Amino acid sequence: MQLGARVLKTGLAIVFALFFAELLQLPSPAFAGIAAIFAIQPSIYRSYLSIIEQIQGNLIGATIAVFFGLLFGHHIVAIGIAAIIVIALMRKFKLDNSLSLALVTVVAIMVYEGNDFLEFGLIRFATVMIGVFAAFIVNLFFLPPRYESKLFKMIDFLQDDVIRWTRLAIRQASEHTSTKAALNKFHSRLSEVESMYDFFKEERHYRKSKRYTQARKLVVYRQMITTTKKSLELLQRLHKHENEIHDLPTPFRIMIQERLDFLLTFHEQLLLKYAGKLRPEHSKWAVDQEHLQNADVLEQLLEQIAFEKTREGEEEFTSYHLFYIFSRILDYEENLEHLDTLIVSFRSFHGNDKNTDLEIDYY
């Protein structure tokens, strides 16, 4: 069993919340621990947003609880009505993320039946907010997230698997159901990559130079994800039309195979280049005489389509679907060229700004 950083931070936030609540001799410090559980967030920026929302939400909850407690007493029906009103207000102000903790505040305040009800309500509100601030402090200083390194690893591992299956698919070596299952997993992993990109996008830097570098990195990573999507779309198309590809003439099929091998190898080199593991001259976008130019590829495609139309007694589904396959190949190729341009530009302007975690963790 592997414990992630968020699990450890949750436990530590509870400890800090209980410690501060007991240090201030607040009654029922458990509410501070409960608040810390709800307030822990996966990123520092989201922790900051959480504090703002939790303050607003708990202020609404505490205000409604005190008002109803003074006006209607502590009857269980009054607590339920107060909870309904809090839910309505929270949704009205779009504070759904802090709704649960606001309801905890309502119940924690309204169950008290002493004479000093107003003072007790303020103390309960302060206890809950101690838990929220304890979670923010832990998020800020304990195991700060390294989202860039995680994001690049996720992109690289996903792309490596897509490349492997694409090479199998173009050689008619993959089993149909296995490829279909792999495609489903790839889509799920791609969603996780996009979620990690959102976390990385939320990172904030105080120095202007860091903010500028971060902005350019976001552009590069966005294109990495887009290019991975295009390679996945290409694999889907190869999988869907594997029978049509199998029926193509051998020279034409080999031409497609060599073209894809060239593009897939270049994609691998781009990731290595960005990680600082490859010299730039070994990953230039250059199609030598061993690989056909785009115009030559399109010419052979048109010749093949014309040949398919002359075949008698056979449906013309092959030539029809060749357009789909080649449109995916050309789209993938264009995105690779764009990714290469962005990486070269980034390395030219920020070559000295190295991510040590990325270069150490990668290979």
Q: Which of 137, 127, 126 is nearest to 47 (CA)?
A: 137
State the DSSP H helix or E strand holding residue 242, giving kind and residue range, or none if neither. helix 242-246
pLDDT of 85: 93
Quick one: tokens of 182? Answer: 């792999």
pLDDT of 51: 84
Looking at the fold, whether 49 and 21 belong to one and the same domain comes out as yes
For the chain, the 3-state helix, strand and coil shares in percent, each to the nearest 5, are: 80, 0, 20
229 by DSSP, 3-state: which?
Answer: helix
Residue by residue, pLDDT tens for the chain (363 residues) are 456 677 888 888 899 999 999 998 888 888 889 888 888 887 777 778 888 888 899 899 989 998 888 888 878 888 899 999 999 999 988 888 888 888 988 988 888 877 777 888 888 889 888 998 898 888 878 766 778 888 999 999 999 999 999 999 988 888 889 989 999 999 999 999 999 998 888 876 666 667 778 888 999 999 999 999 999 999 999 888 887 777 777 777 888 888 899 999 999 999 988 887 776 555 555 544 445 455 555 665 666 556 555 554 455 445 566 777 888 888 999 999 999 999 988 887 766 666 655 666 555
| ∠ Cα 246 248 254 (to 5°) | 90
Residues ≥6 apart with Cβ < 8 Å to 217: 148, 346
Looking at the fold, whether 214 and 132 belong to one and the same domain comes out as no
Looking at the fold, whether 263 and 296 belong to one and the same domain comes out as yes
Looking at the fold, whether 161 and 278 belong to one and the same domain comes out as yes
Looking at the fold, whether 24 and 93 belong to one and the same domain comes out as yes
174 by DSSP, 3-state: which?
Answer: coil
The CATH number of the domain where 304 resides is what? 1.20.58
Amino acid identity, position 141: F
**Containing domain of residue 246, as a range?**
147-361
Number of domains in the chain: 2
Q: How far apart are CA 283 and CA 270, in angstroms?
A: 7
Q: How far apart are CA 283 and CA 265, in angstroms?
A: 9
Q: Which of 64, 108, 116, 109 is nearest to 86 (CA)?
A: 64
Q: How far apart are CA 273 and CA 279, in angstroms?
A: 7
CB 57 within 8 A of CB 99: yes
Q: How far apart are CA 85 and CA 81, in angstroms?
A: 6
Q: Which of 3, 29, 46, 56 is nearest to 140 (CA)?
A: 46
pLDDT of 304: 58
pLDDT of 157: 94
Looking at the fold, whether 233 and 351 belong to one and the same domain comes out as yes
Q: How far apart are CA 109 and CA 82, in angstroms?
A: 11
Looking at the fold, whether 228 and 350 belong to one and the same domain comes out as yes
Looking at the fold, whether 118 and 161 belong to one and the same domain comes out as no
Q: What is the pTM of this model?
A: 0.75
Q: Which of 164, 171, 187 is nearest to 233 (CA)?
A: 187
Looking at the fold, whether 306 and 234 belong to one and the same domain comes out as yes
CB 68 within 8 A of CB 81: yes
Q: Which of 260, 270, 243, 249 is nearest to 338 (CA)?
A: 270
pLDDT of 317: 45
Looking at the fold, whether 74 and 159 belong to one and the same domain comes out as no
**Final residue in a domain of this structure, among 85, 107, 141:** 141
pLDDT of 166: 94
Helices in 93-203 by DSSP H: which ranges?
99-110, 117-141, 147-170, 176-201
Residues ≥6 apart with Cβ < 8 Å to 356: none
